[in-house]
Amino acid sequence: ERSSSKRSFSGGGNSSYSREVVTTAIIYGLVFFTTYFWSAIVFLRGWQKAKFWMRAMSMAFQPSQGLWTFLIQLRPRFVQVRKAYPEWWWWKVVWVSVVRGSYELPSRQNSQSSSRLVNRKSTSSMDSIRSFGRKMTNFSRRFSNVSLGDNDCDCDNDSDDDDDDVPCENEDEVSLGR
């Protein structure tokens, strides 16, 4: 009974996958500990009693937790590109991992395949940022002609009355720059 539970726990042949999962979990733990360690020290000492460098570390690490999480999530792609081309400089591997979408790696002479493709999910963070930027640009173009003055309607309400607070009779005629 013990041997079967031992085999099921080990993953039965997925040792490299298990190693990657454990490595990722350890890195997440270290990032969490490093991020909140300085804040805990400052909290325990009191803000006024804490030395400047402790407060600076707390203020530097706290907002950077998102960056560390991004780098941890980038790590499998980085490792894949690094294994495929160990002769590449570190910065080129980072560039390919972060900036490029699906990047076709140049073929090797001893490789049987003509090229290797490093895939990235189509809904990556960079694609989301680009999509959001396009949406905001379209939004600002659409509404750039909207008038915010006192007379926002194009309806034929040109009576000589001094009653300027009367809203448009037909709300569909308001121009939104479309």
The answer as to whether 143 is a domain residue is no
- Residue 176 resides in a domain: no
User: Is 152 a domain residue?
Assistant: no
Q: Do the domain assignments include residue 141?
A: no
Higher-pLDDT residue of 87 and 6 is 87
Residue 78, domain extent: 66-103+119-135
Instruction: Name the nearest CA neighbour of 62 among 43, 76, 78, 46.
Output: 43
**What residues contact residue 156 under an 8 Å CB cut-off, 6+ apart?**
none
Whether residue 56 is found in the same domain as residue 73: no
Question: In this predicted model, what pLDDT tens digit does every residue of 25-47 receive, in sequence order?
Answer: 999 999 999 889 988 888 888 88
Distances from the Cα of 128 to the Cαs of 28, 86, 125, 132, in angstroms?
Answer: 24, 30, 5, 6
Q: Is residue 110 part of a domain?
A: no
Same domain, 75 and 31: no
Number of domains composing the chain: 2
